[in-house]
């Protein structure tokens, strides 16, 4: 559904200094239509080809400084590692550390969901170590072995592209000295061996519900220690301390063992149109899906007549429903909460802290064919 989706890393050489150092500007663009980058965010890394070090940075920071004992100056480099790992600054970073499009904690929206938050940028000043014989070399060596630090993503080798152009003032443009691009693509098979959601089906004319297939995302017999029986509370050791902590999925014990269940229910079926309700249920105790998007592919969606706000219908047979934290309060009126079990909505940070939460939305389409049998993906 998104064959050309990727994350593009743009490496711009903005200035070559007389001492052999360079001013670099790096952009990270999420060109994926549906898949966003959630917390804890991207972790960009690469391998230097020479003895380069990062003297200073704005808009991001290296996770470790490394061994800078070769430098005798009072001001040591920001990072001396051969393979630095760079992370985005958190919101609220000091102003003198910020750059344009920074400080989102590495979280990137998809391009269709929020065009204002699909990119990150940071700047750095790099040079060579004192023992390097390439101190006065005027050419820039592009690093190799880039990684975005996200499960399922594989990055290409850097390839040279035309220099980037930037607006300087109202009508003047400047451009970088050199520009390289790195393309990172996603593979579900590399990310994890099992799916992350399943689909159940039902209709108004039949009391039978077609449940998710058994062992859709795993088998309960093999995951007894990781799942929580219905009605029980998980141990605090299994839950994250904050939304940026990465912990294994702690899901409710079900036959399908999926952290997310999507239910497709045919509400009415008339000659002119049919109406469908989609219910999304979070069965994962350890993760809040505050910025989720649901992609449903069906031949009849190209004839969509009515849909609640918050859903995009710009694709022929694909409908994307977005839900983000900024519109949480508005969506409380537009979404019908099917079930909120034991925990209520937290007004403190806008996240849903419930054991699981179901929301429903209504879709109306002209009656042309059966509504059962469609492809769905939750990101």
Give the pLDDT confidence score for residue 239 in this predicted structure: 65
Class for the domain spanning 7-189: mainly beta
Lowest-pLDDT range, 25-34, 49-58, 295-304, 362-371?
A: 362-371
Residue 291: CB atoms within 10 A of its CB come to 21
Give the pLDDT confidence score for residue 18 in this predicted structure: 86
> What pTM was computed for the model?
0.76
Query: Which residue from 183, 308, 200 is spatially nearest to 260, judged by alpha carbons?
Result: 200
Place 171 in a pLDDT band, splitting at 50, 70 and 90: confident
For residues 286 and 360, the model is more confident at: 286
Give the pLDDT confidence score for residue 249 in this predicted structure: 74
For residues 23 and 373, the model is more confident at: 23
Q: Is the CATH number 2.60.40.290 carried by domain 195-378?
A: yes
d(CA 79, CA 124): 11
pLDDT at 371 over 80: no
Contacts of 351-355 with CB under 8 Å at 24 or more apart are 351/243, 351/288, 351/290, 351/325, 352/282, 352/288, 352/290, 353/288, 354/282, 355/252, 355/285
Place 270 in a pLDDT band, splitting at 50, 70 and 90: confident
Range(s) of the chain covered by CATH 2.60.40.290: 7-189, 195-378
Give the pLDDT confidence score for residue 57 in this predicted structure: 95
Place 75 in a pLDDT band, splitting at 50, 70 and 90: confident
- What pLDDT, in 10s, does the model give residues 312-343? 433 334 444 544 443 333 333 222 323 222 22
Give the pLDDT confidence score for residue 194 in this predicted structure: 81
For residues 99 and 138, the model is more confident at: 99
Nearest 5°: phi and psi at 334? -90, -20
Can you tell me whether residue 157 is helix, strand or coil?
Answer: coil
Average pLDDT over residues 338-356: 31
Lowest-pLDDT range, 117-126, 226-235, 263-272, 330-339?
A: 330-339
Tokens of 20: 């052999």
């Amino acid at each position: 559904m998104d064959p050309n989706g990727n994350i593009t890393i743009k490496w711009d050489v903005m200035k070559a200094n007389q001492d052999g150092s360079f001013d670099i500007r790096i952009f990270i663009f999420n060109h994926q239509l549906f898949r966003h980058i959630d917390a804890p965010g991207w972790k960009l890394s690469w391998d230097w080809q020479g003895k380069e070090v990062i003297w200073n940075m704005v808009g991001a920071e290296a996770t470790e400084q490394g061994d800078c004992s070769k430098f005798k100056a009072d001001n040591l480099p920001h990072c001396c590692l051969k393979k630095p790992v760079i992370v985005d600054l958190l919101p609220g970073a000091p102003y003198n550390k910020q750059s344009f499009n920074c400080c989102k904690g590495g979280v990137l929206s998809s391009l269709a969901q929020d065009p204002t938050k699909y990119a990150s940028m940071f700047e750095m000043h790099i040079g060579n170590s004192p023992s390097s014989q390439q101190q006065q070399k005027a050419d820039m060596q592009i690093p190799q072995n880039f990684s975005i630090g996200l499960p399922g993503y594989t990055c290409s080798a850097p390839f040279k592209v035309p220099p980037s152009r930037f607006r300087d003032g109202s009508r003047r443009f400047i451009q970088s000295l050199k520009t390289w691009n790195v393309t990172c693509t996603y593979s579900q098979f590399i990310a994890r061996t099992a799916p992350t959601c399943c689909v159940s089906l039902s209709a108004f004319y039949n009391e039978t519900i077609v449940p998710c297939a058994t062992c859709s995302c795993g088998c309960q017999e093999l995951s007894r220690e990781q799942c929580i029986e219905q009605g029980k509370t998980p141990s605090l050791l299994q839950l994250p301390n904050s939304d940026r902590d990465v912990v294994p999925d702690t899901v409710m014990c079900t036959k399908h063992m999926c952290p997310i269940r999507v239910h497709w229910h045919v509400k009415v079926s008339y000659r002119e149109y049919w109406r469908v309700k989609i219910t999304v249920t979070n069965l994962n105790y350890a993760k809040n899906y505050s910025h989720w998007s649901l992609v449903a592919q069906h031949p009849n969606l190209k004839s969509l007549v009515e849909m609640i706000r918050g859903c995009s219908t710009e694709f022929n047979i694909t409908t994307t429903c977005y839900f983000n934290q900024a519109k949480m309060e508005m969506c409380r009126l537009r979404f019908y909460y099917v079930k909120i079990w034991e925990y209520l909505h937290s007004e403190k940070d806008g996240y849903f802290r419930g054991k699981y939460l179901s929301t429903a939305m209504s879709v109306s389409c002209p009656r042309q064919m059966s509504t059962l049998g469609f492809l769905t993906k939750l990101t």
